[in-house]
Amino acid sequence: MKTVRIIAATLFATALSTTSLMAGAQTIQVNKDNRTIAITTTDEAQAVADQAKVSIGFTTYGGDQDGTYADASKISNAIMKSLNDAGVKAEAIESTEQNLTAIDDNDKVRYSKGIRFVASQGWTVTVPAGAAAETLHVAVTAGANNSGNIDWEMVDDSKLESDAAEKALIHARHIAEQMTKGLNVTLGSLVYASNQTPPRDGPMQLDRPVPFAMMKARQPPKPLAISAAKISRSATVYAVFSLQ
């Protein structure tokens, strides 16, 4: 995404009046001794995500509270063991919800089958992007029948943000050079530049939650084919160049 906004261009000293261009805390004086051109551009940079937050969870039903809780405990610990055995560190696993509740008697279908309680639990597991598929696989095969959402992100996206700012600044200089050529003046050095990174709405969510049934297969299934998403960061640069 590229946008360009030309804030001010001072081309002939005789046509100038004393003006100030405010950019954050910096004040750029434009007068007969300081001919400048100010341009605002926005650009973006992309990179493949190197970290994934995998949503893991399960839901189980039972005829009584104690039995339902016992089943939930068994599944919960089996999932946690599978993650630990796969090399996922304890600090990478964050609990998001855990519930044990009675089934509403309006649920005629489950009531007719003697089901009275439901238990559920969920976690967010942070792993390298390349380990997302295997993490999901081992959890699902251990009983995580309500899993699948993945939030893709960068471990450190400061470089991505600086790359976007650099592209925007290069773009700003290119626009300024094209303008000065048509006006028979020479573009000078960069006088001032500021960078504004747009606020983030949160991690990019590429996959919706996918319910998985408890799998019983003659041969263990392979992990799902999952590819990391591309992460985009944009930056808006305000650049002031001198004119010669």
- Give the integer Cα–Cα distance in Å for 214 and 99: 20
pLDDT band per the 50, 70, 90 thresholds, residue 215? very low
pLDDT band per the 50, 70, 90 thresholds, residue 3? low
Q: Where are the domains of the chain?
A: 3-45+157-200+234-243, 51-153
Least confident of 25-34, 152-161, 201-210: 201-210
- Give the integer Cα–Cα distance in Å for 9 and 37: 4
What is the identity of the amino acid at 233? R
DSSP state of 148: -
User: Is the pLDDT score of 166 beyond 70?
Assistant: yes
Q: What digits encode the pLDDT tens for the residues 79-130?
A: 999 999 999 999 999 999 999 999 988 888 998 899 999 999 999 999 999 9
User: Is the pLDDT score of 216 beyond 50?
Assistant: no
3-class secondary structure for the chain?
Answer: CCEEEEEEECCCHHHCCCEEEEECCEEEEEECCECEEEEEEEEEEEEECCEEEEEEEEEEEECCHHHHHHHHHHHHHHHHHHHHHCCCCHHHEEEEEEEEEECCCCCHHHHHCCCCEEEEEEEEEEEEHHHHHHHHHHHHHCCCCEECCEEEECCCCHHHHHHHHHHHHHHHHHHHHHHHHHCCCCEEEEEEEEEECCCCCCCEECCCCEECCCCCCCCCCCCCCCCCCEEEEEEEEEEEEEEC
Q: Which pLDDT belongs to residue 192?
A: 84
Question: Residues for the chain: how many in total?
Answer: 244
pLDDT band per the 50, 70, 90 thresholds, residue 200? low
User: Is the pLDDT score of 190 beyond 70?
Assistant: yes
DSSP state of 201: -
* Phi, psi angle pair for 195, to nearest 5°: -125, 130
Q: Which pLDDT belongs to residue 194?
A: 86
- Which of the pair, 177 or 59, is modelled with greater confidence? 59
pTM beyond cutoff 0.85: no
Q: Could you say which of 3.40.50.620, 3.40.50.10860, 3.30.70.2190, 3.30.70.2970 is the CATH number of the domain covering 51-153? A: 3.30.70.2970
